[in-house]
């Protein structure tokens, strides 16, 4: 994990209804593990909550924990997905990590989780 930052949760106010929560972190920063240069990007989080929703202040602190950490884009996106799924156990979650161009190349990493119970209902 990026740090010991804990994600706080609150009870889903509509657990009987499927709906999507979309959250955007437009100032995500980390460090390139090869060059040590800063990487900037936007992390978009879309999820269908089950029992719990993610509290945004704690999410902000979690995202800030990547600030001085050397990590590849692909690893950051997948680590964020894994950690948030572990914390809130959503029905479905998608992370889209869009990084600003460096050297004329822009990168977007998309990773997704679907719960087993969600698969069984399909």
Domains of the chain: 20-121 (3.30.1130.10)
Tell me the pLDDT of the chain (122 aa) as tens digits.
Answer: 445 789 999 999 999 999 999 999 999 999 999 999 999 999 999 999 999 999 999 999 999 999 999 999 999 999 999 999 999 999 999 999 999 998 899 999 999 999 987 765 55
**Annotated catalytic residue within 8, 32, 82, 111:** 32
54 annotated ligand binder: yes
For residue 32, indicate whether it is catalytic: yes
56 annotated ligand binder: yes
**Annotated catalytic residue within 8, 11, 18, 39:** 39
Q: What is the residue-wise DSSP string for the chain? A: ---SPPPPEEE-S-TTS---EEEEEEEEEEE-TTT--EEEEEEEEEEE-SSEEE-HHHHHHHHHTTTT-B--HHHHHHHHHHHHHHHH--SEEEEEEEEEEETTEEEEEEEEEE-HHHHHH-
For residue 39, indicate whether it is catalytic: yes
């Amino acid at each position: 994990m990026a740090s010991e930052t804990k994600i706080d949760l609150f009870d889903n106010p509509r657990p009987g209804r499927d709906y999507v929560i979309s959250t955007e972190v437009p100032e995500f920063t980390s460090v390139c593990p090869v060059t040590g240069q800063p990487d900037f990007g936007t992390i978009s989080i879309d999820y269908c909550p089950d029992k719990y929703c993610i509290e945004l202040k704690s999410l902000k602190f979690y995202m800030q924990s990547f600030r001085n950490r050397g990590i590849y884009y692909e690893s950051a996106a997948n680590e964020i997905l894994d950690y948030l799924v572990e914390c809130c156990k959503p029905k479905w979650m998608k992370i889209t990590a869009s990084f600003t161009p460096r050297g004329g190349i822009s990168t977007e990493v998309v990773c997704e989780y679907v719960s087993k119970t969600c698969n069984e209902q399909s």
